[in-house]
Structure 1
């Protein structure tokens, strides 16, 4: 059994203090093999907000794989033009497209929030090729995971440029999981991919600790993978603390 903790959209600077104070212990209680955070660590990419994010990341159980979101780029000003990722690189991590290889699992994270786009995402040809390289070289039987801020199937303002190319890479590498955030509304489903019967599980995490809940409340997600199944469990904050919310079962992609 592989256990993954998936958090997203922390929005430190627009956060609920009780959630920040308690979420790390709730994550640690499931004893994850790794913790994935899919972007929007801050509300406005300010130095103080990144310091708060760094403090929370340091309390989460590792190893960690983290990618930036569109809120992790300064909204306006010179910094957005000349150093959009400077604070993220200095206070979170230098690598915007990290790869993590652990026994039984290979994960690649993609930075889908270029500074010249405000809300929608983009995946470059180089990034899609990196997915093929990283996940395609995973050992037989390993769980293959792609993590990104923008859900690959999102439309409208959240639509990803380069989506078709990315989904071809997902199909080619037979990825098991695609993890994302951005919407603040948790959900999970099997993804249909053109030209193949392979159907990875897409998991979109809600907002873990922010006040920007969009009516869905605060939540983070536990994912359990064994040889035959993927179980996705939402952990939801209420007045008494964190509790189990929706639980969904999927066949593990073959």
Structure 2
């Protein structure tokens, strides 16, 4: 059995400061084998925001890997954004933008989906799909972690990541079983299964762990417990008008037949206004 904490969209610099300590306590109490952070550690990619994120992440006791999000590159400093967009992220998190980590029978493969030439839309770069496929462990549960989702719910009005449909189809054929993402600040698991043409891949789209945007209505993170072909998700939710996280809610999935089956009705995602301009908050 392997336990993985999935955090996304911390947005240090525009975060609920009072929720950081309860989040850290919950994460450290999860007995995780690995913590995976799928981007937007900061709100604007500034040094002070990376310092805040670094202090928080350094207090997590489990091993940790992360990939960047679109907010982790500077928005206003165009020279840095276009010439050295990931310099700040690398200073804070290390040189690897797409790390891989094996924990027991689970292999987590990072993918950098950030396009510095776009404000929010992601991109799957040439060769990245092949690189990830070449790194899969066919005897393990393969989990791909990136910031931008590879598929959107019908209610979401943001642009889908470039080459996302190709990536999702090829990853499913190659044997990837789970995709972790963030970006939309919208939790979606079973709702994705209900609409996807790729049920061999369970897409776990995280809400925001700490962002203070009121329209998100809640902060949350998840703990994945993987036991062979069975997956239990603990979903920890902190409504915006409450000071901490409620007791976890549970979702159960199985993949014994080669496709994912949900063992509860699909959730009803909370979809805030998702249209984004260059200067919107999230």
CA contact (8 A) 1:188 1:232 kept: no
- For residue 55 of structure 1, what is the aligned residue in structure 2? 55
Deviation at 1:157, TM superposition (A): 2.8
- For residue 249 of structure 1, what is the aligned residue in structure 2? 252
231-240 or 78-87, which moves further after superposition?
Answer: 231-240
Q: Against the structure 1 CA distance between its residues 87 and 240, is the aligned structure 2 distance closer, same or farther, given a 3 Å change threshold?
A: closer
Which secondary structure state, in structure 2, belongs to the residue aligned with residue 27 of structure 1? helix
CA contact (8 A) 1:132 1:172 kept: no
Give the whole-Å Cα distance in 1 for the aligned partners of 2:39 and 2:96.
Answer: 13
- For residue 168 of structure 2, what is the aligned residue in structure 1? 167
TM-score between both structures, scaled by the size of structure 1: 0.91
CA contact (8 A) 1:125 1:165 kept: no
- For residue 208 of structure 1, what is the aligned residue in structure 2? 209
Which secondary structure state, in structure 2, belongs to the residue aligned with residue 202 of structure 1? strand
Give the whole-Å Cα distance in 2 for the aligned partners of 1:128 and 1:240.
Answer: 41
1:150-161 superposed matches below 5 A: 150-154=148-152, 156-161=157-162
Structure 1 residue ranges without an equivalent (≥5): none
CA deviation vs aligned residue, 1:39-92 (integer Å, no higher than 9, x gap): 000011000000111111111232112010000010022211221111101111
CA contact (8 A) 2:210 2:219 kept: yes
Give the whole-Å Cα distance in 2 for the aligned partners of 1:199 and 1:157.
Answer: 25
Deviation at 1:5, TM superposition (A): 0.4
Aligned residues: 249
- For residue 31 of structure 1, what is the aligned residue in structure 2? 31
Deviation at 1:128, TM superposition (A): 0.3
TM-score between both structures, scaled by the size of structure 2: 0.82
Structure 2 residue ranges without an equivalent (≥5): 259-282
CA contact (8 A) 1:109 1:147 kept: yes
Q: CA RMSD in A?
A: 1.9
Give the whole-Å Cα distance in 2 for the aligned partners of 1:234 and 1:99.
Answer: 24
Which of 149, 153, 164 is the aligned partner of 2:147? 149
CA contact (8 A) 1:150 1:158 kept: no
1:24-103 superposed matches below 5 A: 24-77=24-77, 78-103=79-104
CA contact (8 A) 1:221 1:235 kept: yes
Going by fraction, where is strand more abundant, 1 or 2?
Answer: 1
Q: Tell me if 1:187 matches 2:188.
A: yes
13-22 or 166-175, which moves further after superposition?
Answer: 166-175
Give the whole-Å Cα distance in 2 for the aligned partners of 1:80 and 1:164.
Answer: 27
CA deviation vs aligned residue, 1:172-193 (integer Å, no higher than 9, x gap): 2322211000111222135476
Give the whole-Å Cα distance in 2 for the aligned partners of 1:246 and 1:214.
Answer: 22
